[in-house]
Structure 1
Amino acid sequence: MTSPDQALLLPYRAEHTPATAAQPGAPALHHMRLTIGDTEDGLIGPPVHCERITFSLPCAPDARVPASEPVILRTRLDLPRGPGRGRQWLVEAATGDPAVTLLNLLPAAPARFDGTWALTLTLDISTPLGDTIRVFEETALDYSPQHHTRSATLAATPRTS
């Protein structure tokens, strides 16, 4: 769910599942799913052109993560094929700061979100994540040729399945 001071053009949904006990010798990984462009009624309004989305995922406030410990991160991007969907998306991750993980989603060509499709980023990470996520998007409405960077805060909801 997006914060009330919403400045974003795209709809977002963030769901997380805290790590459970890992098998011996395996790290415990936290699971998060970020869905972009999905609405309950399938409508976005005017189509939105997108050139970049950045997620800032802060570590949980009470978590202790040693600076010398590397972050384990696995990502998977689910994207239905079709025209206007950015062709291929690149996920760039920055995990150098244990307090925050940055993820940049970059389409090979500008994507056109029109409510008929959604992009889903699934990640497993060793860092315990907080419940708030900062989102920055470089977007423009269909009728506006200028792209602007907009940002807002999302609240991640616990995943039930």
Structure 2
Amino acid sequence: MTLLLPYRVDITPGSAATDDAPPRYHQLRLTVGEDDQSRAEQPVRCTRITVSVPAATSDQRLARQPLAISTTVPSVRSSAQGQEWWIVPDTTDPAVTVFACVPEEPARFDGTWTVSFLIELDPGFESTTVEITEETTADSGPARSRNSRVVASVLPATASEGQV
């Protein structure tokens, strides 16, 4: 099923570490609602977004967990933007970590604003597919679950890829 919201997934590499120090984590940025080509024809109500990230086990110094669960959520300006967003990680499956991005109130995406979520990743995470699942509706009915896979790659700090 096609996603109703536009997404962009960018990964910024962590800076190099000294020989004795563990490598620095990469930063995955999931941007929701940004669409350079057109605004939403009608508002989309969103109750939940999840991003599923496969585990990377590249460095034994990071073997305690393939993902650093350090997340950042920006502040929002109104209840139409979800009032406040939370990121809830689920690490019960060792092969994948699922990050649920949940607004305190259903968010209403109308093409005039975006929200970005930052997740720190193991530096071994270089090129993979993440799965995005949204619970959305474009009308007054109940939200339905829709999902899509997005290729995410480690990019130079100035590049942007991974759009759907």
Number of aligned residues: 153
Q: How does 1:2-41 map to 2 (within 5 A)?
A: 7-23=2-18, 24-41=20-37
Q: How does 1:110-125 map to 2 (within 5 A)?
A: 110-125=106-121
Match of 2:157 among 151, 156, 160: 160
Deviations 1:80-130 (A, max 9, x none): 312400101111012344421210011111000001100101121236334
Q: Is the Cα–Cα contact under 8 Å of residues 92 and 105 in structure 1 kept in the other structure?
A: yes
Query: Residues 76 and 106 from structure 1, CA distance in 2 versus in 1: closer, same or farther, beyond 3 angstroms?
Result: same
Q: Is the Cα–Cα contact under 8 Å of residues 76 and 84 in structure 2 kept in the other structure?
A: no
Q: Which residue of 1 aligns with 2:102?
A: 106
What is the RMSD computed on CA atoms of the aligned residues? Answer: 2.4
Q: Which residue of 1 aligns with 2:131?
A: 134
What amino acid does structure 1 have at the position aligned with 2:129?
T
Query: Which region of structure 1 is more displaced relative to structure 2, 21-30 or 9-18?
Result: 21-30
Deviation at 1:26, TM superposition (A): 4.4
Query: Scaled by the length of structure 1, what TM-score is found?
Result: 0.82
Cα distance in 1, alignment partners of residues 152 and 22 from structure 2: 26
What amino acid does structure 1 have at the position aligned with 2:41?
G
Query: Which region of structure 1 is more displaced relative to structure 2, 75-84 or 98-107?
Result: 75-84
Query: Scaled by the length of structure 2, what TM-score is found?
Result: 0.80
Identical aligned pairs, as a percentage? 33
Q: Is the Cα–Cα contact under 8 Å of residues 79 and 105 in structure 2 kept in the other structure?
A: no
Structure 1 gap segments, 5+ residues each? 1-5
Query: Which region of structure 1 is more displaced relative to structure 2, 13-22 or 98-107?
Result: 13-22
Cα distance in 1, alignment partners of residues 156 and 16 from structure 2: 17
Q: How does 1:85-100 map to 2 (within 5 A)?
A: 85-100=81-96
Cα distance in 2, alignment partners of residues 149 and 65 from structure 1: 35
Deviation at 1:75, TM superposition (A): 0.8
Cα distance in 1, alignment partners of residues 112 and 132 from structure 2: 22
Deviations 1:32-67 (A, max 9, x none): 11100111045012110000001001135xx54669
Cα distance in 2, alignment partners of residues 18 and 94 from structure 1: 23
Q: Does 1:55 align with 2:51?
A: yes
Question: Residue 131 of structure 1 aligns to a residue in which SS?
Answer: strand
Cα distance in 2, alignment partners of residues 94 and 128 from structure 1: 20
Question: Residue 77 of structure 2 aligns to a residue in which SS?
Answer: coil
